[in-house]
Every structure is written in C-alpha cells, then in structure tokens.
Amino acid sequence: MTEKVRVGVIGTGMIGQDHTRRIQQVLTGAKVVALNDYAPDAAEKVRASLAPEAQVFEGAEDLIASDNVDAVLVCSTGSTHEAFVLGAIAAGKPCFCEKPLATTAVGAKRIVDAEVAHGSRLVQVGFMRRYDPGYIALKEVVDSEIGQPLMVHAAHRNQTVPAQYVTPMAIHDTLIHEIDVFRWLLNDDYVSAQVIFPRATSKKHANLKDPQIVLLETSKGIRIDVEVFVNCQYGYDIQCQVVGEEGLAYLPEPMSITKRKNATLQNTILTDWKDRFIASYDFELQDFIKAASNGTAAGPSSWDGYVAAITSDACVKAQESGAIVPISLPDRPALYN
Ligand code: NAP
C-alpha cells in the first residue's frame, strides 16, 4: 500500500496532541484525518493547529466507524480505552492504544478475547520503552553477553508529582512501564510481587506513600527490585542494572555534555519524562503505521497489556497487604506467540 494510512485520533489532550504532531510533522506513511475529544473545542484547536484537513467527530464511535479512517489512535483518559479498542477491533481496524489497555485485568482480557476471535493482531499498546535505543542496546547485551540474568536493580524517579497522585498510581501510572519492559528485557513472566515502604520523604502528599520498593520474582527465579520515588526533587531519572552470571549491564544514561567548570564536573539530569523517551515515541508510532498499512499491528500486544494489568493488580494488592502476592497467568493464546 503506497497511500498514507488515514488515522483517527481519539483524545486530543497532552499525548493525543503530541502523537498528532508526530504523525503530521515527523513520521512517514500516515496522516491524521479525524479527531475526537470529550471537549469538541479541544479537538477543534488541534485540528486548526496541526491537521487542518481533518474532520472533527462529536462521537468516538462515529470516528471509529468512518470509512475515511483506516486506523485508530486511542489517547483519551485511561478509563475510556477498553470501549474504544473493542470498537476498533469490531470494525477490523488497527488500533494503537496508549497505556493502560484497560483499567482492569478483566477489561484487558475482553480485548484479548475479541482480538483472538478476530483471528489476527490489530492492537498495539503504547509501551514505548521497548523502542528506546538504550533499552534495545541493553537487551542485546543481556541476551548475549552477561550469561543468565539473575537480578535486576532499577529505579523510576520523578522530580515531583501533583497532589492528586495517590499511592496506587505509583503502580498503575509509573511502574507500569517497568512491568512491561522487564518482561520483554528478560523474556520472562512474573510469579509474585511484594511492596515495601521505606522511611517516607517529607516532600510527599497526604495520600501518597513515597518512596516505595517493588520486589518482583520471575518464573526463572530472577529477582527484581524497583525503587519508585516520585518526589525525588532532583530530576526524572530511570535506572536499570541487570546482574548476570558472567557480568553486569547498565541502561545507558541519556546523552548529556560533561562540563568541567569552577572546580566541578557536571552533567545535566533531565526533569521531563517526555524528553527522556522522545525518540521511542517516534519509533513506536512509525512501527504502528508500518503494520497498519498492512491491516495488522506489531510491537507490544493486547496480551502484553493484559499481563501488565494482572501484574499491576497484584502490586496494588501487595501495597495494601504488605504480603507477597502470587501472580498467575492464563495460557497465552497462539496469536501472541
Ligand atoms: P489528558 O491530557 O487528560 O488527555 C486526555 C484527553 O482525553 C482529554 O482531552 C479528555 O477530555 C479526553 N477524553 C476523556 N474522555 C473522553 C472520551 N470519552 N472520548 C474522547 N475523549 C475523551 O491525558 P494524557 O496525559 O494525554 O493521557 C492520555 C492517556 O495516555 C492516558 O491513558 C495516559 O496514561 C496515557 N499516557 C501515556 C504516556 C506514555 O508514556 N506512554 C504518557 C502520557 C500519557 P477532558 O479533558 O474534557 O476530559
């Protein structure tokens, strides 16, 4: 197919605008032809500034059904994702869904079932870290150079979070990216989760326990500890060290000029997550466009979204109980092998 994939974007908030810009100005092979938002004014503004030829739809369902739309981008609020992804599958259209695939594991399972019934992949979930050049380089080393992985030590630190950020969001909104990327990095699935709360920072909000340490165990016995510290003050910092039986491998730091000045050695640390993974957003959507031009989907699948939802639920239970919570997965449908 040489014609551009005609994309409809549902949800024109922060990430919906950014993906629209990406498709219109950075990527090849697609154009945004349709926009929808809960607030039509918001969609209209994005149309005027980024996609003047697009049609603004009042209802997301009408956008999905439109004969002018080949593929759908779901960028609306998380609680709306399941219905829109199911709608896209029913229409037989490739669908890129921002995380989370659904807000419950049961909801994510409904999407897996619908896609399996359809018989071929249509859904890509926005787990963009799998497209990050640093994680890709780390995976190459983990797969071939350090022997069998034994442990992972990781950290996800945000400078600050708003007051409405509460304890479970450390899992659903923040750790969710580690949950997905470590399965991919280690070619393994989780069997248990535990959450430990160290001394709390005085910078935390009333309904947030911060920091947290999440302990995951995989089916091969690999132990993963992830520090989630979302008011760390100093920057946005993603760390990952894989310990293998023959060596260690570290996730590379983002590029930064080292300065020697006034008797100090300095590197800048990023503060905005958008800057940290900017390249991977481009690569994930380009991959989606390529697959969508053939009527299918690539990259992180509905199954990956479902497993992430099951694991998140276990981590939240572990936050609440302090216990080690077992994680068991149903058999993986052949579609996702
Ligand atoms: P946002 O700025 O709040 O944008 C969401 C938009 O969806 C808002 O304009 C909202 O309208 C609209 N919306 C809500 N319900 C809708 C419906 N039923 N139909 C159509 N539009 C609807 O949020 P965001 O930061 O862009 O996040 C959107 C999604 O992307 C979230 O699921 C988030 O977790 C995910 N995300 C992923 C990453 C990543 O790293 N992969 C990064 C950021 C966000 P109103 O404001 O009028 O409600």
CB distance 24 to ligand 1 below 6 Å: no
> According to the 3-state scheme, what is the secondary structure of the chain?
CCCCEEEEEECCCHHHHHHHHHHHHCCCCEEEEEEECCCHHHHHHHHHHHCCCCEECCCHHHHHHCCCCCEEEECCCHHHHHHHHHHHHHCCCCEEECCCCCCCHHHHHHHHHHHHHHCCCCEEECCHHHHCHHHHHHHHHHHHCCCCEEEEEEEEECCCCCCCCCCCHHHHHHHHHHHHHHHHHHCCCEEEEEEECCCCCCCCCCCCCCCEEEEEEECCCCEEEEEEECCCCCCCEEEEEEEECCCEEECCCCCCCCEEECCEEECCCCCCHHHHCHHHHHHHHHHHHHHHCCCCCCCCCHHHHHHHHHHHHHHHHHHHHCCCEECCCCCCCHHHC
Ligand 1 nearest atom to the CA of residue 100, by list position: 32
From 9, 12, 36, 77, the mutation candidate for ligand 1 (largest count of ligand atoms within 8 A of CB) is: 77
Domains of the chain with bracketed CATH:
5-128+279-301 (3.40.50.720), 133-272 (3.30.360.10)
Average pLDDT over residues 91-106: 96
The per-residue pLDDT for 88 is 98
d(CA 295, CA 123): 11
Q: Measure the CA–CA gap between 302 and 34, rounded to whole angstroms.
A: 24
Nearest CA to ligand 1 atom 1: 13
pLDDT band at 274 (very low <50, low <70, confident <90, very high): confident
Determine whether the shortest distance from the Cβ of 38 to ligand 1 is under 6 A. yes
Cα-Cα-Cα-Cα dihedral sign, residues 237, 305, 58, 20: positive
**Mean pLDDT over all residues of the chain?**
97
Residues 283, 118: Cα–Cα separation, whole Å: 26
Q: Identify residue 201 by its one-letter amino acid code.
A: T
As a whole number of angstroms, the distance between CA 11 and CA 97 comes to 11
Compute CA distances 241 → 150, 155, 234, 237, whole Å: 11, 9, 20, 13
Where residue 2 falls among pLDDT bands split at 50, 70, 90?
low
Residue 57 CB burial class (10 angstroms; 0-12, 13-18, ≥19): buried
pLDDT band at 214 (very low <50, low <70, confident <90, very high): very high
CA distances from 206 to 50, 158, 174, 321, 327 (A): 39, 17, 18, 19, 30
Average pLDDT, stretch 15-29? 98
Mean pLDDT score, 173-201? 97
Contact 77 CB / ligand 1 (< 6 Å): yes
Q: Is 255 exposed, middle or buried (0-12, 13-18, 19+ CB in 10 A)?
A: exposed
pLDDT at residue 161, rounded to an integer: 96
**18, 37, 96, 164: which to mutate for ligand 1, most atoms within 8 A of CB?**
37
**pTM of the entire predicted model:** 0.96
Tokens 């089916």 locate to 219
141-186: pLDDT as tens digits:
999 999 999 999 999 999 999 999 999 999 999 999 999 999 999 9
Output the six-digit token pair for 256: 């930064």
pLDDT of res. 22:
97
Contacts of 336 (CB under 8 A, 6+ apart): 301, 302, 303, 304
CA distance 166 to 135: 28
Mean pLDDT value of segment 55-67: 98
Ligand 1 pocket check for 99: Cβ under 6 Å: yes
Local confidence band at 204 (pLDDT 50, 70, 90 cut-offs): confident
What does residue 157 show for φ and ψ, rounded to 5 degrees?
Answer: -120, 130
Rounded average pLDDT over 17-38: 98
